[in-house]
Structure 1
Amino acid sequence: MTEQKKRRPYSSALRQEHAQATRQKIATAARELMISKGYADTTMAEVAREAGVAVQTLYTSCPGGKPALAKLVYDITLAGDDRPVPQSDRPEVRAIIDEPDPVRKLARYAAMATAILRRIKPVHRVLRAAAAASPTDAGLQDVLAGIEHERLLGSRGPAEHLHALGALRPDLPPARAAAQIYVLTSTENFEKLTEVCEWSEAEYEEWLTATLTATLLDPPYRDKPH
């Protein structure tokens, strides 16, 4: 009995590790196919074949079918990996939280946002194009709506953090600050500035830092030397 109890956590950890590796393989295969062929022309069977898994395994990992697969691709691309680590515990986020200076804090945030936008841009563009071409695809429409809701919800973290520090403009409620962060860090803005306007990513990051600083921070924090 004692030996059985010792084995169970180990077996559970191995199963979890295997499931994570499988999800990563599926997400990688699906992302490559969707970017090269488009969402509509990518089939679940093709993804399963490219990932080296059974079709049933694919549906087990993505029980919502193709829209759920698209969300898996988006989530893993956004995070950069499939590790079960909360966003607040990731090193880049901890560095932002631990930075005492609000301007440098926003500079770190802008750098993190730029790296995320670089990764997510091709996936987001494919999903937007597919949703525009298939407005009756309720599953895909729900995925995109959910992504936007999650982005807005995620923007509350930095807004509330600045508010708690007393660094947010006194006339700017955290909810309104979150809305501005959400808009400024949109994939569409990143695309327009780096593609249409032909800015470098470094120029985008510098602009985002300056704009977030001017928009969000109380002047005493914004204007002091750094």
Structure 2
Amino acid sequence: MSAARRTYSSPLREESARRTRITIRGAAATLFERHGYVSTTVKQIADEAGVAVRTVFTAFPDGKAQLFREALDAAVAADEPAAGMPPVRSPHALGAAAAVVDQVVGYGAAMLERAGGLLITSIESSGADPDMKRFAEDDARATAENARTLAEGLHRSGWLRADVTVDHAADVLYTLSSPQVHALLRRDCGWDVDRYRTWLADTLRSTLLR
């Protein structure tokens, strides 16, 4: 009887542990974005999640750094688009090249809506914490690589303007699609997401494409 009871309860314990991890991770993400990484303590995360400090370390043995990494990974990798975000359809977009830009902008904007706050947290905290410095550098490197890949694809397809080199296109894509620009326009200037996406798509199209 006891063996059967242990077999039955194990999936329940695993599901409970999974939900606890998600709750803690969500609480940490909220506090990191609200107060910054350095100022947020594990005690505050535990209080926000409604669990004991020991529970936080049981779920995340490496503490804040592991929490931040997993919160960021979950936000970046989420399959669902940001709520209320239809595909970008720039009123000035014509042709296959513009459609590619709209698709890239739509994907990037959805990701930044989910993860931009954490990315900005890592950037703003990079001077005070070595883990944040590493996270910020890793993201900048990945963003630059993605921008380069897109610029090379636009060049191979013959869609870049004659006066725009691959290097220039990659720099423009890297800069304008960055979490810093997203934060400036969405958070500081108060743009809604549709205005941001339309501006970015139109600016990239007019700056880079034939």
TM-score range with shorter-chain normalisation?
Answer: 0.5 to 0.7
State the distance in 2 between where 1:170 and 1:23 align: 52
Matched, 1:180 2:172: yes
Consecutive unaligned residues in structure 1, runs of 5 or more: 1-16, 83-91, 93-99, 220-226
Q: Does 1:159 align with 2:168?
A: no
The equivalent of 2:198 in structure 1 is 206
- Is the CA contact (8 Å cut-off) linking 2:186 and 2:196 kept in structure 1? yes
Please tell me the residue identity of whatever aligns with 2:57. V
The change in CA–CA distance for 1:81 and 1:18 in structure 2 (over 3 A counts) is: farther
Q: Which residue of 2 aligns with 1:74?
A: 72
Match of 1:108 in 2: 103
Q: Is 1:169 aligned to residue 161 of structure 2?
A: yes
Instruction: Pick closer, same or farther for the CA change 1:26–1:170 going to 2, 3 Å.
Output: farther
Distance 1:105 1:28 in 2: 33
Q: Is the 8 A contact 2:101 2:205 kept in 1?
A: yes
**Does 1:194 find its partner at 2:196?**
no
Q: Distance in 2 between matches of 1:118 and 1:104?
A: 21
Shift of 1:70: 2.0
Change (3 A) 1:54 1:66: closer
**More deviation in 38-47 or 172-181?**
38-47
Contact 1:40–1:130 under 8 Å retained in 2? yes
The 1:24–1:182 alpha-carbon spacing in structure 2 relative to 1, beyond 3 Å, is: farther
Relative distance call for 1:196 and 1:47 in structure 2 (3 A) is closer
- Cα distance change, pair 19–169 in 1 and its aligned pair in 2 (3 A): farther
Identity of aligned residues (%): 27
Q: Secondary structure at the match of 1:177?
A: helix
Measured in 2, the distance between the counterparts of 1:51 and 1:157 equals 44
For the residues of structure 2 that align with 1:160 and 1:24, how far apart are their CA atoms? Answer: 38
Q: Which secondary structure does the structure 2 equivalent of 1:122 belong to? A: helix
Between the aligned partners of 1:36 and 1:210, the Cα distance in structure 2 is 32
* Number of equivalences: 179
1:213 CA drift (Å): 0.8
**Cα distance in 1 between the residues matched to 2:18 and 2:101:** 32
1:109 offset after TM fit, Å?
Answer: 1.7
Tell me the TM-score normalised to structure 1 length.
0.63
Q: 1:101-136: CA deviations, max 9, x gaps? A: 1112211222222222222232233333433xxx34
Any idea what the Cα deviations from partners look like across 1:64-110, whole Å, max 9, x if unmatched?
x533432322222122259xxxxxxxxx9xxxxxxx71112211222
